[in-house]
Amino acid sequence: MNLKNNISILILLFFCSFSYGQINQYNYKRELQGITTQWHKIILPEEIFGKVSPNLFDIRIYGITASNDTIEASYMLQLKKEKIVDTDVNFKLLNSSYNENGYYFTLEVPTESAINELKLDFTQQNFDWKINLEGSQNQQEWFTIVKDYRILSIKNSETNFQFTKVIVPTSKYRFFRLLIKSDEKPGLSIAKIAHSETTNGNFNKYTIENIKTVQQKEQQLTQLEIDLKSPVPVSSIKINVKDNFDFYRPITIEYLADSIKTEKGWKYQYEFLTLGTINSIEKNEFRFESTILQKLKISIYNHDNKPLTIDTITANGYVHELIVRFTEPATYFLTYGNKNALKPSYDIERFTLKIPNNLIPLNLGKEQTIDKKEVFEKEPLFKNKNWLWAVMVVIILVLGWFSVKMIKSK
């Protein structure tokens, strides 16, 4: 074996030494208990979200085989979101008429499709109307579906708010008659009939430990500072208001992303989550991309109005679930806690149709702190890093000597 081959082997051994002990790059582990088949699921507990990276890239599943080798199991992260499928239903606008009650629009649905939504759009930008919706099979006998349903549109320098979607009980009629109770003729520009089917998601309801309300009179602003018990992935906030008068206020929701201690105290950096309008018509549930957080700031812009009296606030987040494939017998651990970890890439994400529908959940053992000196695989050739650097220096010197020799020979 010549010198060049020796150098190649040394280089290979050097870089291989860094591939050992992957599990030691993480801070925490939990043993997976109850593995009986190739496919299982793991429901991530709330306690780990304060210790993983915000993007969840540092979750790994490592196994220790009987021969003390470390292997990695593939997984796919799923957020148990709700699924909404909207199907537009074709219809014909047969006629429109008017009497002392208001303006009528008669619609015909030529198919046997059921509906549960009516989406309306008007040329008017400011209105506050109530509507009735009736159904009939023959236009002789009419049945009430909804009565005095409120639709609203407000557009000015301070507010741009519209609530014109009519949610109705699932109904199947040949004809629908819409009554808009208005003194002026509604400029109905678009009407859509649809059937919306929602598959409910799985949510966790998180504990709110403290709500601090700050009234900034000069800015005409109410700020709510909300503290959760621990960092958790939040995807929606619901705000309940005690007041029974009508209100429409712009709202901004932010979360505490970072904090820095300065000479003048702590400086907090908030990042945007979502904005919208808190109002007296809707449920006031605000949804946004799932984000790991512990502190929220909600800003309600009152303008010249009396501040609202907030009753309760609830924070919810999707259940996070790992779909895991095991290919070899081993003692497996869920590991996490490495801010420098890159997002893993596994084949199973491209073959989701082969994942069984009913997966058995695994139990998680108690959280353990990973000892950085702990080695689960075979010992590397060079245990002391000083030896590794010494080898690198020798390699560099030898390569340099060969380079100089080649240059002189030319």
Tens digit of pLDDT at every position of the chain (410 positions):
454 454 444 444 444 444 344 788 899 999 999 999 999 999 999 999 999 999 999 999 999 999 999 999 999 999 999 888 889 998 999 999 999 999 999 999 988 889 999 999 999 999 999 999 999 999 999 999 999 999 999 888 777 888 999 999 999 999 999 999 999 999 998 888 999 888 888 999 999 999 999 999 999 999 999 999 999 999 999 999 999 999 999 999 999 998 887 877 778 899 999 999 999 999 999 999 999 999 999 999 999 999 999 999 999 999 999 999 999 999 999 999 999 999 999 999 888 888 998 999 999 999 999 987 644 444 454 555 566 677 777 788 877 777 777 776 65
**What pLDDT score was predicted for residue 296?**
96
- To 5 degrees, how large is the angle CA 163–CA 165–CA 166? 120
Q: Please state whether beta strands 39-43 and 360-361 pair in parallel, antiparallel, or not at all (unpaired).
A: parallel
State the Cα–Cα distance between residues 226 and 44, nearest whole angstrom. Answer: 24
**DSSP helix/strand/coil, 260:** strand
Structure tokens at 204: 């966790």
Q: What are phi and psi of 9, to 5 degrees?
A: -65, -45
Cα first-last separation, the chain: 26
On whether the CB atoms of residues 235 and 319 are closer than 8 A, the answer is: no
Name 197's bridge partners.
Answer: 85
State the Cα–Cα distance between residues 287 and 234, nearest whole angstrom. Answer: 9
Give Cβ neighbours of residue 295 (< 8 Å, ≥ 6 apart). Answer: 225, 226, 227, 228, 255, 256
The alpha carbon dihedral of 270, 275, 280, 281 has a sign of negative
The alpha carbon dihedral of 47, 258, 203, 285 has a sign of positive
Q: What are phi and psi of 104, to 5 degrees?
A: -110, 140
Greatest alpha-carbon pair distance for the chain in Å reads 107
Ranges assigned E (strand) in 55-184: 60-64, 70-72, 74-79, 83-89, 92-99, 102-108, 115-122, 127-136, 143-155, 160-163, 165-171, 175-181
- To 5 degrees, how large is the angle CA 271–CA 274–CA 278? 130
Q: What is the DSSP letter of 354?
A: G
State the Cα–Cα distance between residues 177 and 134, nearest whole angstrom. Answer: 5
On whether the CB atoms of residues 393 and 85 are closer than 8 A, the answer is: no
**What pLDDT score was predicted for residue 109?**
92
Name 143's bridge partners.
Answer: 135
Residue type, 119: K
State the Cα–Cα distance between residues 61 and 54, nearest whole angstrom. Answer: 18
**What pLDDT score was predicted for residue 14?**
44
State the Cα–Cα distance between residues 320 and 73, nearest whole angstrom. Answer: 18
DSSP H or E segment with residue 388: helix 385-409
